[in-house]
Structure 1
Amino acid sequence: MSAFLAALVPVMLLVALGRFLGWRNVLSDDGWRAVERLAYVLLLPALIIRALARAPFETAPWRLALILIGAQCLLGLVGLLARAWPGMTRPAVGSIIQSNVRWNTFVALSIGSALFGEEGLALVSIAAAAMIPTANILSVTALTAHAERETGARRNPVAELIRNPLIIACAIGGALAALNLTIPPMIDDTLALLGQGTIALGLLAAGAGMDVSALGRAGVRTVTWSLVRLLGMPALTIAGALALGLTGTPFAVAVISASTSTATSSYILARQLGGDAPLAANLIAMQTVLSIVTMPAIWFACLSAGLF
């Protein structure tokens, strides 16, 4: 438990530092978006390529990917129950479903690597290869299906996946591992240098982009669906891991990946595709705060039960 807290606290401190820097206007909003974009299109792909290329492909726990995809799909279906909530609009349902299926990759990478080193980094990268395409497909489908107005933004989930830099990185890294190819030393060193700044910049940008004022607007609906996401995804993941016999470090990484809060990009996509953007902002802020409690609680429960 102390090891997990030691890995979680620096993550939260970086997010808080990002919020402070955003409040102090060290960078403009456009500047923070540029930082987040740089981490997303260049630094994180470099980290993923190098991590996957070093992973033992023949023993990679693909059950990890299957379990996390299944948990995302099931929790997306649970989000449809929001239709029964009094006064719930269709765009709000779309935003809730998106919140249920997205995850914070930077938090999972930071904790996974801090606890399990290169193995943890590779396993979280495998989780990313599974969860990112699933989250994109489910989010775009849910938001567009529940939009009440023509957004002007037509998105083809399949086309977006093909050009998504993280998906491309997963494909390159996976291919290198599958073919047992070694990255040339100079390129490997370059990727290592790029990857070193990934997690810190991603967490700082996430903190800077968080709307703290959304916490004051959050009501019962936001708290309820935040808890559904923060507790439901890990519960489904644990159930799937037990059913399929996933154990050890892969089990622990699956729980870490499922326990993170929803992605900060949820707000932008909700705004673009006709979802309830204010609700998306509320869910991001509330889950970020609640995850400080729920993540250690879930980890402690798993340790107490002897699951890993």
Structure 2
Amino acid sequence: MHYARPVNFAQLLFPDFSLILCGWLVCRYTALNRTVWEQVESLVYYFLFPVLLFQSIVRSPLDLGAASSLIAAGLLMGMAGIALAYSLPALPWIGARIDRRDHAGAAQIAFRFNSFIALALAERLAGPQGLLQIAVLIGVCVPLFNVGAVWPMARHSGTGFGAALLRNPLIVATALGMATNLAGLQIPDWLTPTVNRIGAASLALGLMAAGAGMQFGSLAQGKVLAASVLAIRHLLLPLVAWVLARLLRLDATQSTMLLAFSALPAASSAYVLAARMGYNGAYVAALVTLSTLLAMASLPFALGVLLQR
């Protein structure tokens, strides 16, 4: 898993985190407030991102046999994150210091990921092949992570979660893209420039929307729980991914994508899910914000330290 030349990952990631900062500054200090960015987030999530996912999968031939190790690594890493998050209340010292209800809402922070940042980083790190691989990881992990996020809260919710999964635009786009790819079909040449522009817009707006969604309130409460789920997200999962990449003998690009995937910040929609299901949305929003900041350290750690070993 060594690179032929040194890579400054902190410098490589700077443009993406600059866009996150721009989104936060624009949302906080201009008339383009949170109400505006909620609409932008919906546009990205329901239209722009699915188009990018579909294009990323269709653009390059997909070899399921070659991708099977990467898929297995992503699922195993995800299950490890879910298991670690679920185990927190049972741990001797930590369990006595966390609120069980707050844990149910915040456990998702330990394993859910920000798709906006995942797709932006994949293209910068490995080009079209990286986009294809991260799209496959997103497609197979989103259902698992969504179930893992909702399960602790499910007893207090009457939502039709199975139907919601089937309507998830990222899952639908991934399934359609894989079916189209395996059928040997392509996007027509005359439509490709339009699709490319949609993809570029989705990355820039998605990153800015992630910044606009950052909130710094409620960080003072539940410090032990916050430290625990963020340690899983930004320290333990990269270590798990590094071990899996070696055990499953992933190639250099697959290892890069898995390590990047393991160190992503938590999904910006986590607080929406928690609030919608009657939990402490403000607390989860604060954890998402802190996770986004911590990713500025965990991504260079995963890519610049672990990947080189």
Specify which of 251, 254, 267 is matched with residue 250 of structure 1.
Answer: 254
Q: Percent identity, please.
A: 27
Deviates more, 1:155-164 or 1:49-58: 155-164
The equivalent of 1:10 in structure 2 is 15
The equivalent of 1:150 in structure 2 is none
The equivalent of 1:58 in structure 2 is 63
The equivalent of 1:34 in structure 2 is 39
CA distance, structure 1, for counterparts of residue 111 and residue 295 of structure 2: 15
The amino acid that maps onto 2:256 is: A
Give the gaps of 5 or more residues in structure 2. 1-5
Deviates more, 1:293-302 or 1:58-67: 58-67
Answer yes or no: is the 8 Å Cα contact 2:104–2:152 preserved in 1. yes
Answer yes or no: is the 8 Å Cα contact 1:94–1:142 preserved in 2. yes
CA distance, structure 1, for counterparts of residue 221 and residue 31 of structure 2: 26
Q: Does residue 20 of structure 1 match 2:30?
A: no
CA distance, structure 2, for counterparts of residue 24 and residue 200 of structure 1: 19
Answer yes or no: is the 8 Å Cα contact 1:218–1:286 preserved in 2. no
Specify which of 96, 100, 103 is matched with residue 90 of structure 1.
Answer: 100
The equivalent of 1:120 in structure 2 is 130
Please give the residue correspondences for 1:236-275 in structure 2 after superposition, counting only pairs within 5 Å: 236-275=240-279
* Deviation of the 1:215 alpha carbon: 4.7
CA distance, structure 1, for counterparts of residue 217 and residue 283 of structure 2: 12
The equivalent of 1:234 in structure 2 is 238
Specify which of 72, 79, 102 is matched with residue 85 of structure 2.
Answer: 79
* Deviation of the 1:214 alpha carbon: 4.4
Please give the residue correspondences for 1:131-146 in structure 2 after superposition, counting only pairs within 5 Å: 131-145=141-155
The equivalent of 1:68 in structure 2 is 74
Answer yes or no: is the 8 Å Cα contact 1:261–1:287 preserved in 2. yes
Runs of 4+ residues over 6 Å off in structure 1: none
Answer yes or no: is the 8 Å Cα contact 1:14–1:203 preserved in 2. yes
The amino acid that maps onto 2:127 is: G
SS of 1:184's partner is coil
* Deviation of the 1:218 alpha carbon: 7.0
The amino acid that maps onto 2:37 is: W
CA distance, structure 1, for counterparts of residue 118 and residue 165 of structure 2: 21
**TM value normalised by structure 2:** 0.90
Deviates more, 1:107-116 or 1:36-45: 107-116
* Deviation of the 1:274 alpha carbon: 2.7
CA distance, structure 2, for counterparts of residue 238 and residue 109 of structure 1: 20
Change (3 A) 1:55 1:94: farther
**TM value normalised by structure 1:** 0.90
1:267-286: CA deviation from partner (whole Å, max 9, x where unpaired) = 11011113332331232122
Answer yes or no: is the 8 Å Cα contact 2:114–2:266 preserved in 1. yes
The equivalent of 2:3 in structure 1 is none
CA distance, structure 2, for counterparts of residue 38 and residue 64 of structure 1: 30
The equivalent of 2:193 in structure 1 is 189
Answer yes or no: is the 8 Å Cα contact 1:217–1:282 preserved in 2. no
1:27-46: CA deviation from partner (whole Å, max 9, x where unpaired) = 23221111001001110111
SS of 2:144's partner is helix
Change (3 A) 1:207 1:272: same
Number of paired residues? 299
SS of 1:77's partner is helix
Give the gaps of 5 or more residues in structure 1. 148-152
* Deviation of the 1:94 alpha carbon: 1.5
CA distance, structure 2, for counterparts of residue 92 and residue 223 of structure 1: 13
* Deviation of the 1:233 alpha carbon: 1.6
Answer yes or no: is the 8 Å Cα contact 2:107–2:229 preserved in 1. no
CA distance, structure 2, for counterparts of residue 161 and residue 191 of structure 1: 25
